[in-house]
Amino acid sequence: MENKETVPDISAFLASAIHDMKNSISVLISFLDDNITRLDPEAQRAAAPMLYEVQRVNDNLLQMLAIYKVGNQFYPFDLAENSIAEFVHEVAAQNQSLLDYLGITLDIDCDEGLHWYFDYELVAGVVAHALNNASHYTKDRLRLAVKEEDGELVMRVEDNGSGYPDNVLEAGDAVNKGVNFASGSTGLGLYFSAMVAQLHQNRGKTGTMQLENGGALGGGCFILRLP
């Protein structure tokens, strides 16, 4: 019988490499965050874009790992009850140093007594990515609002920038219409956010994400709805 060489699982190698890169990037983020505070205000503002780019890369690596795990059905999806006030303030705190360096004000609007069931780590990743992305396009203000509307938990990240261009709005709408992401028609962040939304299901309803312009600040609005 002819011996056939075993074909290696390339995706597993890639996932391992991504994990190693993520660990290295995390060390770099910690170093930058600790040392930027020692700089004078002008130097902090100059260094802030570097921290933004490093965090963006880290977000992308985390998203790819989560997508790989979900796709291979071994992500430990943890649907648990969470305090919305604690969730919002913890996510805000994780992003506050970068926003401070960039001179951006973050407004928080949430129901302090609200609780909801969702996977904390996945949803925190979505909101953190939305805040990080919005910080690149806003003028000087962001808004993180979380409310219950019509039986759904609605999370909004809004900015006072010029808003999303039409092609990005169309890509966001396509996410909820089952577009083939492998074609590259949407970005990784949209794919990840849509995947997280669709993992959350309750009473026959599935989570969704949406992009629009307007909102309380008049710029771009990222909206995550969880049943």
Mean pLDDT computed over 157-166:
93
pLDDT digits (tens, 9 = 90+) for 72-113: 888 889 999 999 999 999 999 988 888 988 899 999 999 889
- Beta carbons within 10 angstroms of residue 104's beta carbon: 21
Q: Residue 189: pLDDT band by 50, 70, 90 thresholds?
A: confident
Please determine, for residue 185, whether its predicted confidence score (pLDDT) is greater than 50: no
Output phi, psi for 226, to 5 deg. -120, 130
Rounded to an integer, what is the distance from CA 69 to the centroid of its chain?
A: 17
Q: Which residue has the tokens 């002819």?
A: 2
Residues 6+ apart with CB under 8 A from 175: 186, 190, 191, 193, 194, 209
Instruction: Determine the Cα–Cα distance for residues 176 and 36; give it in Å rounded to an integer.
Output: 40
Per domain, the residue ranges of the chain are: 10-226
pTM value is 0.84
Residue 146 in 3-state DSSP? strand
Over range 172-201, report the average pLDDT: 71
Q: What does the alpha-carbon distance between residue 125 and residue 152 come to, in Å, rounded to a whole number?
A: 19
Looking at CATH, the fold of the domain delimited by 10-226 is given as: Heat Shock Protein 90 (3.30.565)
Average pLDDT over residues 154-176: 82
> Order of strands across the sheet with 141-149?
105-110, 141-149, 152-159, 219-226, 208-214
